[in-house]
Structure 1
Amino acid sequence: MKQFSNIDQVMFSDLVQKATDADFDENFPENGTFLKQKRANRDYYYYKAYQPSGGEGPTKTALKYVGPADDPEIAKRAEAFQRTKIGYRARRELAAKLRRAGYPAPPHMEGLVVNELARAGLFRLRATLVGSMAYQTYSGVLGVRLPDELVTTEDMDIAKFYGISISIDESMPDIEDILKKVDPTFAPSFSPDETKLFSGFANATGFKVEFLTPNRGDEDYSSRLTPMPSLGPSVGAQVLRFLDYLIHEPIRSVVLHDAGVPVLVPAPERYAIHKLIVATKRNVFFADKAKKDINQAGALIQAFDAVKRNSDLGFAWMEAWERGARWRRRLGVGALRLSDDTFAMLSKGVAEAAKLDGEPADEYGLTGGKDGLLARVSIARPTAAPTQ
């Protein structure tokens, strides 16, 4: 798997930093102050903005959500509060160089959508970009060129914890208005089981923006939408099992549209393991998506091996494996669909992580190869040939 040059990798990291700094400066100008407030036994930073009221009346103030106080990037900026304006032109040149070097970028319309939502506060309010649009940022995160055919997408998936949505004392502007600025044909998508909430939007070409949230109950899935107050009064999120694992502790990255759009995405090792799981949930009508899931997982496993970060992947597998028999069975089915070489890379990562953790590697299902995994989770061998 081809790795990008050290210079290219440094440029990508620099763009992530510059785009995040510029976004922070735009949202929190220097005429305000930062303060901490406690919500649900956790400290959060809020920005106290001062807005002239006009005439001789008192100055108005408003609180704006910043993020959790234990996020080191947020804490660093809030405590320093030094306004370092990052030039748009410099960021645009950096992003253009990275695109020319082969880093993936979204089609123009998709880039406009993620940019407008980011500017409206989507990621500041702790939503996470998931799916293939998040996957395309991992070339920069890992410093390797992922297969071009795996970064294409026909939708944009946004995930958010319900608890975060109800605890933030702020809501986005109307999302439909934001999307119509990009394409007037965007319209709400309604669920047959809902009359007041809609789960996303679609435009005339079929591009969809959809909202997801982790399952908070015991059922595998729910047909009802969950209200998400921080996304607006009419937006509901589809409830999905296993999603909490994916979006736990997301990382900062950048989508290479225009001058770079700062986003939150799942950690790539979690994305890979999660894809092994969700591939097993696709029915026969979504066989192509299941194949793409396995191929994305396989490419990421190979990327972690190429940059010698196998143990990161191993720890992600171990965490999922420890969540119980249902998780282990789906992990096993997904892993058996990998090619033998890729399966061996995953096994190597688990062995390295278990050793670092002081645990016996054979407790995590992979040390006996595919036959050992079959016996461990009591599943039938897949009939389809492995793809990655």
Structure 2
Amino acid sequence: METKPLSLTARTLFAELREQAVTIGVASDRDSRPGTVVRKSVKGSTYFYYQYRDLDGRTRQTYIGPDNEQTAALLTGLERTTRDEAEDREHLQKLRAAFVAAGGSTIDNAPMRVITAFAEAGIFRPGSGYGVLVGTLAFHAYANLLGVTWASPTRTQDIDVAGPSRIDLAIRRPEKPMPDILQQLAMGFIPVPALDPRTPSTSYRIRGRELRVDLLTPETGAAKEGTQFVPALNAPAQPLRFLDYLLEETLPVPLVGKKTLALVNLPLPERFALHKLLVSESRTSAFATKTAKDREQAFQLLDVLEEEAPDSLELATEDLRQRGPGWRQRLDRALARR
């Protein structure tokens, strides 16, 4: 079975879907979540609040102002904005449904629910320094981005989210730590204990199911034991070698579910492919199955990128080779297996 291109209709629909999703944003900040304006009377005076439901389903309220002309103008603008956002979301859903009907790839409902919650909490805000979806779910997303159907589309329930460990004052932390978001989903997530009981967990799973969430961050310089706190995730994460190369450049892409969609950050596909090759040459024999999957995903991506984006692939390869002899040797060994 070979990688096949999507139809021109599907490619056109996804291009419009991505443009609209990036423009209006699918991942909402708290105060732009769907809600209603409520009126309160306090000691004979009237005040207005914006009322909505939080991630955990509890009702929240944001103060707007007293009953006066200034607040009335704000309410008029809010009503117009709310109406426009509802129309935008309805249009996005129509585009999503049309794209899926045209043959687009979709993510299963359970991981999509988790990713949507992360997006709504602000983890995947577009731009450098925020959370990035990596791993097999990113590989699935590249199929839609590149307009293809993978020859061997590996299904997975694993959700790998990475973020830089450096502290940037311009980065807005998610409103809640990622472990709290998982708990509020009430899906049964439990932390996976670390080897060192003093080390906080960076992995979460649902007992009896394959669904798992791993939080990652680049390991640079000398190897260090333990985890690192990542502001972009508002949680500790497991440092991994070579991840800095993967997160060097990212792009916002809508992740398409069977019923919903969420805007996430993805690594550039050429960096993803080359990073997979580096990782495949760094695993021990105990991880032979994962090594085979890494190579399979990388080679499928390279086949497409060599046709669709050869210049970008060349630049990413040159950047990798300039990072040292160990990087070059791993890449050359992996490419020799192709």
TM-score, reference length from structure 1: 0.68
Q: Aligned ranges for residues 79-228 of structure 1 at < 5 Å?
A: 85=85, 86-124=87-125, 126-150=130-154, 152-164=155-167, 168-195=171-198, 197-204=200-207, 205-219=209-223, 222-228=224-230
Q: 1:255-312 deviations in whole A, cap 9, x for unaligned?
A: 11123211100000001111110001111111011011111111011112343x2222
Which segments of 5 or more consecutive residues in structure 1 lack a partner in the other structure?
Answer: 31-50, 60-80, 339-388
Instruction: Please report how far the alpha carbon of residue 90 of structure 1 lies from its aligned counterpart in structure 2 after TM superposition.
Output: 2.3
Q: Tell me if the contact between 2:132 and 2:264 (Cα under 8 Å) persists in the aligned partners.
A: yes
Residues 182 and 99 of structure 1: CA distance in aligned 2, closer, same or farther (over 3 Å)? farther
Q: Secondary structure at the match of 1:137?
A: helix
Q: 1:95-144 deviations in whole A, cap 9, x for unaligned?
A: 12222333221111011111111111111171100001111111122112
Residues 167 and 214 of structure 1: CA distance in aligned 2, closer, same or farther (over 3 Å)? farther
Tell me what 2:4 maps to: 2
* Letter of the structure 2 residue corresponding to residue 4 of structure 1: L
Q: Secondary structure at the match of 2:161?
A: strand
Q: Tell me if the contact between 1:94 and 1:259 (Cα under 8 Å) persists in the aligned partners.
A: no
**Structure (1/2) with the larger strand percentage:** 2
Quick one: distance in 1 between partners of 2:203 and 2:27?
29
Quick one: distance in 2 between partners of 1:119 and 1:20?
14
Q: Aligned ranges for residues 204-353 of structure 1 at < 5 Å?
A: 204=207, 205-219=209-223, 222-232=224-234, 235-257=235-257, 258-307=259-308, 309-338=309-338
* Letter of the structure 1 residue corresponding to residue 212 of structure 2: K
Q: Tell me if the contact between 1:88 and 1:259 (Cα under 8 Å) persists in the aligned partners.
A: no
Q: Aligned ranges for residues 50-65 of structure 1 at < 5 Å?
A: 52=63
* Letter of the structure 2 residue corresponding to residue 3 of structure 1: P
* Letter of the structure 2 residue corresponding to residue 172 of structure 1: E
Q: 1:221-272 deviations in whole A, cap 9, x for unaligned?
A: x44100124433xx31111111010011101111111232111000000011
Q: 1:342-362 deviations in whole A, cap 9, x for unaligned?
A: xxxxxxxxxxxxxxxxxxxxx
Residues 139 and 101 of structure 1: CA distance in aligned 2, closer, same or farther (over 3 Å)? same
Q: Tell me if the contact between 1:25 and 1:84 (Cα under 8 Å) persists in the aligned partners.
A: no
Residues 169 and 117 of structure 1: CA distance in aligned 2, closer, same or farther (over 3 Å)? closer
Quick one: distance in 2 between partners of 1:159 and 1:98?
28
Instruction: Please report how far the alpha carbon of residue 171 of structure 1 lies from its aligned counterpart in structure 2 after TM superposition.
Output: 3.7
Q: Tell me if the contact between 1:166 and 1:229 (Cα under 8 Å) persists in the aligned partners.
A: no
TM-score, reference length from structure 2: 0.77
- State the percentage of identical aligned residues: 28
Q: Tell me if the contact between 2:130 and 2:171 (Cα under 8 Å) persists in the aligned partners.
A: no
Q: Tell me if the contact between 1:193 and 1:223 (Cα under 8 Å) persists in the aligned partners.
A: no
* Letter of the structure 2 residue corresponding to residue 9 of structure 1: R
* Letter of the structure 2 residue corresponding to residue 301 of structure 1: L
Which one has more relative contact order, counting CA pairs under 8 Å at least 6 apart?
2
Instruction: Please report how far the alpha carbon of residue 324 of structure 1 lies from its aligned counterpart in structure 2 after TM superposition.
Output: 1.0
Q: Secondary structure at the match of 1:239?
A: strand
* Letter of the structure 2 residue corresponding to residue 160 of structure 1: G
Q: Tell me if the contact between 2:217 and 2:239 (Cα under 8 Å) persists in the aligned partners.
A: yes
Q: Secondary structure at the match of 2:124?
A: coil
